[in-house]
Amino acid sequence: MTFEEQVKRLEEILQIIENGKTPLEEVNKLFAEGVGLSKNCFDMLEKSRGKVTVLQSELQKMIEKPFN
Amino acid sequence: MSENMISVTQFSNYVKQIFSSEELLHNILIYGEVSGFNISRGTAYFNLKDEDALLPCVRFSADELDYIPKEGDMVVVRGSPNYYVKGGRFSFVVTSIQAYGLGLLYQQFLELKAKLEAEGLFDTARKKALPKNIKRVGVVTSETGAVIQDIIDISRRRNPMLDIVLYPAKVQGVGAEATIIQGIKELDKTNVDVIIVARGGGSLEDLSCFNTEIVARAIAETVKPVISAVGHETDFTIADFVADLRAPTPSAAAEIVSIDLGALVEQLNFATRKIIASTQNYLLNERDNVFNLSDTLCNDFILYQQNKRQPIREILLKLGQRVDKNLMSNEHKVQLLVNKIEAKNPLAILKMGYITAERNSKRVTSIKEVKIGEELSLNLLDGILLTEIKEKKGEEK
């Protein structure tokens, strides 16, 4: 699932839990799925942030090269 | 038939406009014989003539002239035509006057220029475009002097990665053309992207090697584009006309071939910073969003559990109350029983101060069971009293 799909699914899960009509076992499963999704999303964001940082430092090195 | 009429001023201004707008007539060289040269209030007036024509000339600021021609001198003048509106006179406004000795060079220059131009060597169509990304530049010039130094300094400052290949050439005097031509041809065979043919400023004679046909043809025949950078901005040579690009000065040529890497890097830096900033922003927003969603998920789950727990709690509460009630009533019953049992305990009676009587270990409950003079045991809480019956009272039936 893409990042956006996961966020969308997370929103769906919230709606299902919020309506309060879902059986407990189902809600337990949904909660576990939601926690997994949010962890995934955080991981993906963290990786992207890492990439940005790497890119940033690489670019800075590249830019500095001709002058050093 | 109606014709438009115009005033003398309009007409004169129109004529003046024709001369001033025709750039081919500007800054040109004309040679001829001087006649009627005189200076009046700082301005020199004279005619330039040959067998068939006469051209009135004027030189303002005559005190700047370092050569005053005599009547009949052959001279070459440089200047532009002008129509003097107020006096209704046409004249050639001269900026420089030189003796014909030098003028001959100009004449040769003009003839060669005309010849090569007729051949199409100056056509814009055959000019080679400079490559966009110039990495290696060939320079044909003197290895000593300011020109090569300027070219190196300027291009290094702008683009430190640019390679400069110098072909040291003689740029004036005997044999100069040969080395210049060789330099152009040699560099053309190498992997340079462009060739600069350069020389500092100098007199017409000094620049003469760049006005030769062989140099012009060498420039025209190259595969690589050639930039001419000869003399000062005002100096024009045949090399300039035939080259793919004329730089006004050698320094200008250096600027043309070297992109300003500093500016480019600054631009790239700016774009990079922008990309990084907006990506980080995007990630932060998404992070906040996911954080909020996760938070809501936990809260919702807790809320859901609480909602499910509530009825159970109520049931438990009711159940508990019922059990309590039950227990309490049972306890009460037990207490009552205990009380009853307690009440039947003989010790308890004794405690209260009552006494039991026995005769021959047999409980006596009536006066009929005993006779006067008989012994009677009285049971108290802490012991037994032995007594003798003296009298009986009460009813005896």
Class of domain B8-119: mainly beta
Contacts of residue B390, defined as CB under 8 A and 6 or more positions apart, other chains included, come to: B372
Longest dimension (CA), chain A: 67
Predicted pLDDT at B122: 93
Task: Check CB contact under 8 Å for A34 and B294.
Answer: yes
pLDDT band at B173 (very low <50, low <70, confident <90, very high): confident
The three-state DSSP-derived secondary structure of B291-352 is HHHHHHHHHHHHHHHHHHHHHHHHHHHHHHHHHHHHHHHHHHHHHHHHHHHHHHCHHHHHHC
Burial call B96-109: b when 16+ CB within 10 Å, e when fewer: ebbebebbebbeeb
Give the per-residue SS3 of chain B.
CCCCCCCHHHHHHHHHHHHHHCHHHCCEEEEEEEEEEEEECCEEEEEEECCCCEEEEEECCHHHCCCCCCCCCEEEEEEEEEEECCCCEEEEEEEEEEEHHHHHHHHHHHHHHHHHHHHCCCCHHHCCCCCCCCCEEEEEECCCCHHHHHHHHHHHHHCCCCEEEEEECCCCCCCHHHHHHHHHHHHHHCCCCEEEEEECCCCCCCCHHHHCHHHHHHHHCCCCCEEEEECCCCCCCHHHHHCCEECCCHHHHHHHHCCCHHHHHHHHHHHHHHHHHHHHHHHHHHHHHHHHHHHHHHHHHHHHHHHHHHHHHHHHHHHHHHHHHHHHHHHHHHHHHHHHHHHHCHHHHHHCCCCEEEECCEEECCHHHCCCCCEEEEEECCEEEEEECCCCCCCCC
Structure confidence at residue B102 (pLDDT): 57
Closest CA to B71 of B93, B95, B39, B38: B38
B129 is written with which tokens? 């475009």
Q: How confident is the prediction for chain A on average, in pLDDT?
A: 80
pLDDT per residue, tens digit, chain A (68 aa), is: 888 898 889 888 888 888 878 888 888 888 889 888 888 888 888 888 777 777 777 766 655 554 43
What distance in Å separates the CA atoms of residue B130 and residue B213, rounded to the nearest whole number? 24
| Residue A67, pLDDT score | 42
Q: What pLDDT is attached to residue B110?
A: 80
Domain boundaries, chain B: 8-119, 135-259, 278-341, 349-388
Among B280, B283, B297, whose Cβ lies nearest the Cβ of A31?
B297
Q: In whole angstroms, what is the distance from residue B221 CA to residue B218 CA?
A: 5
Instruction: Give the mean model confidence (pLDDT) for residues B112-139.
Output: 92
pLDDT, tens digit, for every residue of B28-72? 989 898 999 999 999 999 999 988 899 999 999 988 887 888 888
Q: Tell me the C-alpha distance between B363 and B342, whole Å.
A: 21
Question: B8-119 with B135-259: one CATH topology?
Answer: no
Average of per-residue pLDDT values in chain B: 87
Any A CB within 8 A of B293 CB: yes
Is B290 in Cβ contact with A41 (below 8 Å)? yes
B260 versus B343: the higher-pLDDT residue is: B260
Which pLDDT belongs to residue B15?
Answer: 92
Average pLDDT over residues B332-339: 83
Contact B161 A24 (CB under 8 A): no
pTM for the structure as a whole: 0.46
User: How much of chain B, in percent, has pLDDT values that exceed 90?
Assistant: 40
Residue B3 has pLDDT above 60, yes or no: yes
pLDDT at residue B76 greater than cutoff 80: yes
- In this predicted complex, what is the ipTM? 0.74
Pairing outcome for strands B28-40 and B54-59: unpaired
pLDDT of residue B314: 84
The answer to whether residues B49 and B33 touch, using CB atoms and an 8 Å cutoff, is yes
**Number of helices and strands in chain A (H, E):** 2, 0
Max intra-chain CA distance, chain B: 207
User: For residue B391, what pLDDT band results from cuts at 50, 70 and 90?
Assistant: confident
pLDDT in tens, A44-57: 888 887 777 777 77
Instruction: Please name the residue of chain B whose CA is at the shortest distance from the CA of residue A63.
Output: B265
What is B135-259's CATH superfamily? Response regulator (3.40.50.2300)
The SS3 of residue A20 is coil
* B contacts of A49 (beta carbons < 8 Å): 280, 283
Residues of A with CB under 8 A from a CB of B: 3, 7, 10-11, 13-14, 17-18, 20, 24, 27, 31, 34-35, 38, 41-42, 45, 48-49, 52, 55-56, 59, 63, 66-67
pLDDT at B331: 82
